[in-house]
Amino acid sequence: MAVEEAKVIAETIKKGVILHNKVILITGATAGIGKATALHFAQLGARVVAVARTEERGAVLLEELRDNGGEAVFFAADMKSESDIQAMVAFALETYGGLDFAFNNAGIFGHEAELHDQADDDWADVIAVNLTGVYRCMKYEIAAMLRGQLEDRVTFSIVNNASTVGHRGSISSGPAYTAAKHGVIGLTRQAAVTYINNGIRINAVSPGPTYTDVTSGVRNLSSEAMAQVLALLNPTAQLVEAEAVAETVAFLCSDAASMINGHAIPIDGGQLAKL
């Protein structure tokens, strides 16, 4: 075994998360939570199949992953397209011979309004990506994992990206986004009880407001103004870091989470607890 490989394994053992040479497919991988998760899994020695819509952003991500010693490939896919989703899973299988984990992270906010003013087209777009897209990802990922079980790949894990608004209503979120995230949690639970005896664990993460490109403006506020804004989000008065979500996804994929199945884990600094 090469010295560098031994170091990677030693580091993952220290962290209690052993993912060396495991294959993970990550959608929405070129920004925010998806990018943080791709980088984290690569650092843990996993082989990353990064998926997003644009080749240009994919190339930038691959360069960063490989510069950090990660093994990764990129596939361009639109989560509204079932044929794209089917092809991305086939690409993962062709490239690495199997699929151990998946993080169905891609999502959009859409142009939402209050329910009585919600345009049907905007509703359809958000549901198509945030709920139907997750359903289709799981459909083809689970099929691949069931085949993999026959080939002695023993355990598998799927993690879906939900949201704290999947657990409640929200005045800051539109009806389509909230409905889709509730649906993701329900779909996660249904699939979890269906496939656990096939060695496939299925969970979700439910981040609170997270520091990404979308929320970066908050950090440009004065410290007093920022504290006032963030105190409304959770008791810690902080945005969730994308890396914290990535670490939770890695934990849920690891053997350390072998008895966690069918749950939506809030990563919110206590936001839901104080409601």
User: Any idea which residues carry the catalytic annotation?
Assistant: 177
What is residue 37's three-state secondary structure? helix
- Count of beta carbons in the 10 Å neighbourhood of residue 275: 8
Query: Which two structure tokens, joined as six digits, stand for 132?
Result: 């139907």
Residues 6 or more apart in contact with residue 55 via CB below 8 angstroms? 74, 76
H helices present in the chain, as ranges? 3-14, 32-43, 55-67, 82-96, 120-127, 133-150, 175-195, 223-231, 242-253
List 72's β-bridge partners, or say none. Answer: 48
Q: Is the distance from CB of 98 to CB of 120 less than 8 angstroms? A: no
Selection from 90, 106, 110, 86 nearest residue 98 by Cα = 90
- Count of beta carbons in the 10 Å neighbourhood of residue 91: 18
Q: Is the distance from CB of 112 to CB of 122 less than 8 angstroms? A: yes
**Which helix (H) or strand (E) covers residue 201, if one does?**
strand 200-207
Specify the DSSP class assigned to residue 105. -
